[in-house]
Amino acid sequence: MNLFCRIFGHTWVPEIETPQVRWNTTKDMVVLEPTVDGQGIRHLEVCRRCGEQRVLPPRAHDADPIGGDVAQAG
């Protein structure tokens, strides 16, 4: 932990981690197919000084309160 984080506490900044999409062609080199790395979208808080991360619970919409109930889609 950074010295300043120990004195003042962490400076949390919200970040979103989205899965990477790679595009590759099929064998006949005509059609592009997506390959998705990782799972779904992750909401994080990252400390701007020391880089420490904490994962926030999933939300149905970005406007929903943090830690609120996740609405069931469909």
Q: Cβ distance 53 to 44 under 8 Å?
A: yes
Q: Is residue 5 a contact point for Zn ion (CB under 5 A)?
A: yes
Residues 44-63 that bind Zn ion (CB under 5 A): 47, 49-50, 52
Angle, vertex CA 66, rays to CA 69 and CA 58, nearest 5: 65
In angstroms, what is the minimal distance from the CB of 3 to Zn ion?
A: 10
Cβ–Cβ under 8 Å, residues 51 and 13? no
| Interface map 11-50 toward Zn ion (x if CB under 5 A) | ------------------------------------x-xx
Between CA 21 and CA 30 the distance in angstroms is 18
Measured from the CB atom, is 54 or 69 closer to Zn ion? Answer: 54
